[in-house]
Chains A and B, each alone.
Chain A
Amino acid sequence: MFLVNYIKDVLSGIKSLATGMKVTGWYALHHRKEKITQQYPDNKDTLVLPERFRGEVVMPHDEHNEHACTGCTACELACPNATIKIVTKFDIQPDGKKKKAIDKFVYHLELCTFCNLCIEACPTDAIKMAQTFEHSVFDRTNLTKILNKPGSKIREGIE
């Protein structure tokens, strides 16, 4: 019985090693078609990034310079390393009521780990991840960004 198990052990070991070698051998023979490397600086114009690539947090604005951020600070609370700081203000509405709105959406790119938690937390889909990734600058202060454009306001109907 011991001997049978021993031989089975050896044969199954050889089989699993051969399976592994088959996979890498197939890749080695088909590397031209299967290769996933992109030669980045050369193909800058035709660069294809994966759909879920996370480069930086941006806030999309529509053609009326309106965004969807209500200033609820859910993203600020969700951020694990204090990348987002939201400064709020109070708008006076036509009927005289005051309404909370964002003054500045401060985003520290230098602190961001691109974990996507702020985007998950946002109830109104006001922010999203962009695919830009060439973030090198000469001065660190250039990495602190204000995401809402000057003069922008919240889109009608978003609470």
Chain B
Amino acid sequence: MPSLENIANNIHQWLNNNFGAPWPMLIEFAIVGLCIIGLFAMLGLVLIMMERKVSAWMQLRLGPNRVGPVGMFQTAADTLKLIVKEGMTPAGADKFLFNLAPFIVMIIAMVIMAPLMFAKGLQMWDVNIGVLFFTAISSVSVIGILMAGWASNNKYSLLGAMRSGAQIVSYELSAGFAILAIVILTGDLKISTIVNSQADGWWIFKGHLPIWIAFVIFMIAVTAETNRAPFDLAEAESELTAGFHTEYSGMKFALFFLAEYVNIFVVCALGATLFLGGWQPLHFGTDTQFNQWMDYIPSSLWFMGKTFFLIFVIMWFRWTFPRLRIDQLLNLEWKYLLPISMINLLLVTLMAIMGWHF
């Protein structure tokens, strides 16, 4: 059966047979880069479409339905519009930082994808500190946001950027604790080991209540980290017009917009990898008919299905919950999520030492 793993391996072997020393690696870099850019563009189109449809359905509307069949090409048309618009730089702005910021935000969203395992054996970089790499890089994106807010020379942008900083710094902690819970159970930071440890059952089934709590805390924290409603204080349409990207227009605005959605994809992919077994199919017991049927579904579909389910949940949050105030936001983190996740971490550690998980 052709799988993505075989295709990748065949390309790798063919390149090694036909080219000398540095070339196979360079060509693979180029291929991977192209794939990531393609994935980026596809994700932007698909996720924005999904967001608009989900929001419409939850509010009993129809959503986009004019451009193409059931409005499929609406986001493509929007992107085309943003490309042909002028990317203006305000007169008082710090021109260098202002133009650099959207690229930093986008490049970081790209870099985070490196350790993700998209299917069985399909991974860009199986680095031995995979999860740590992830948390470390994802907190750099706040620099891009602060840069955008500062360089805009606009008090609303600066306020939005500062809020975003406070938010990401605080929520990083509980997201980190939730990730640590899985790291404790697995005993490794490597993504491939974490996925393989779930071959006999996903952690959410094997880990009892503490992993459930960790999962809920993880979902709340990553919603806050990606600056999405109900934690969209950095953008705050109603008070700061659009926060850190008020002054951006055209393609530079589109890059911020795209980076937001790619970040959602990435954090949901990490959630799927840590808690829902990555590309591992759903198995009950051993050697049953059900397990064999599940194995027929390709691993990439399993991964994408889980990721898109989590993305749907995050969109569900956005279109259900009212926004928090900044003090409520910080209360939630420092008075609730952080103590709960600390105690939860102790419980998980106890569970791992005593071997109470399956």
Spell out A's residues near B (CB within 8 Å). 10, 17, 20-21, 23-25, 27-28, 31, 34-37, 39
Known: A24-B316, A28-B54. A35 touches B321 (CB 8 A): no
User: Which A residues touch B58, using CB under 8 A?
Assistant: 24-25, 27-28, 31
User: Which B residues touch A35, using CB under 8 A?
Assistant: 60-62
| CB of B193 within 8 Å of the partner chain | no
Within 8 A of A (CB), among B33-77: 54, 56-62, 65
Query: Can you pick out 22 interface pairs between chain A and chain B where the beta carbons lie within 8 Å of each other?
Result: A17-B320, A20-B320, A20-B321, A23-B320, A24-B58, A24-B316, A24-B319, A24-B320, A27-B57, A27-B60, A28-B54, A28-B57, A31-B57, A31-B58, A31-B60, A34-B60, A35-B60, A36-B60, A37-B61, A37-B62, A39-B62, A39-B65
B316 near A25: Cβ-Cβ < 8 Å: yes
Most buried by B among A10, A27, A31, A36: A31
A31 to B59 Cα, complex, angstroms: 8
User: Which B residues touch A17, using CB under 8 A?
Assistant: 320-321
Q: Which residue of B lies closest to A35 (CB)?
A: B60
**Min distance, Cβ B309 to any Cβ of chain A, angstroms:** 13
**Min distance, Cβ A146 to any Cβ of chain B, angstroms:** 40
Q: Which residue of A lies closest to B54 (CB)?
A: A28
- The dominant DSSP class at the A interface is helix
User: Which B residues touch A24, using CB under 8 A?
Assistant: 58, 316, 319-320
User: Which A residues touch B54, using CB under 8 A?
Assistant: 28
A20 to B230 Cα, complex, angstroms: 13
User: Which A residues touch B320, using CB under 8 A?
Assistant: 17, 20-21, 23-24
* 8 nearest A-B pairs in the assembled complex, by CB-CB distance: A31-B57, A24-B58, A24-B320, A28-B57, A20-B320, A37-B62, A28-B58, A37-B61
> 1/0 per residue B295-339: CB within 8 Å of A?
000000000000000000000110111000000000000001000
User: Which A residues touch B317, using CB under 8 A?
Assistant: 21
B57 near A10: Cβ-Cβ < 8 Å: no
A16 to B62 Cα, complex, angstroms: 27
**Min distance, Cβ A20 to any Cβ of chain B, angstroms:** 5
Known: A24-B316, A25-B316, A28-B54. A37 touches B336 (CB 8 A): no
User: Which A residues touch B352, using CB under 8 A?
Assistant: none
User: Which B residues touch A20, using CB under 8 A?
Assistant: 320-321
**Min distance, Cβ A42 to any Cβ of chain B, angstroms:** 10
Q: Which residue of B lies closest to A36 (CB)?
A: B60
| CB of B183 within 8 Å of the partner chain | no
**Min distance, Cβ A39 to any Cβ of chain B, angstroms:** 7
**Min distance, Cβ B258 to any Cβ of chain A, angstroms:** 25
A27 near B59: Cβ-Cβ < 8 Å: yes
Q: Which residue of A lies closest to B230 (CB)?
A: A17
| CB of B340 within 8 Å of the partner chain | yes
**Min distance, Cβ A82 to any Cβ of chain B, angstroms:** 34
A24 to B229 Cα, complex, angstroms: 15
Q: Which residue of B lies closest to A38 (CB)?
A: B62
A36 to B56 Cα, complex, angstroms: 11
A20 to B65 Cα, complex, angstroms: 27
B60 near A37: Cβ-Cβ < 8 Å: yes
Q: Which residue of B lies closest to A9 (CB)?
A: B336
**Min distance, Cβ B196 to any Cβ of chain A, angstroms:** 33
A10 to B62 Cα, complex, angstroms: 35
A25 to B61 Cα, complex, angstroms: 14
User: Which A residues touch B56, using CB under 8 A?
Assistant: 31
User: Which B residues touch A34, using CB under 8 A?
Assistant: 60
User: Which B residues touch A10, using CB under 8 A?
Assistant: 336, 340
**Min distance, Cβ B325 to any Cβ of chain A, angstroms:** 15
**Additional pairs, 18, CB under 8 Å, beyond known A27-B59, A28-B57:** A17-B320, A20-B320, A20-B321, A21-B316, A21-B320, A23-B320, A24-B316, A24-B320, A25-B316, A27-B58, A27-B60, A28-B54, A31-B56, A31-B60, A34-B60, A35-B61, A36-B61, A39-B65
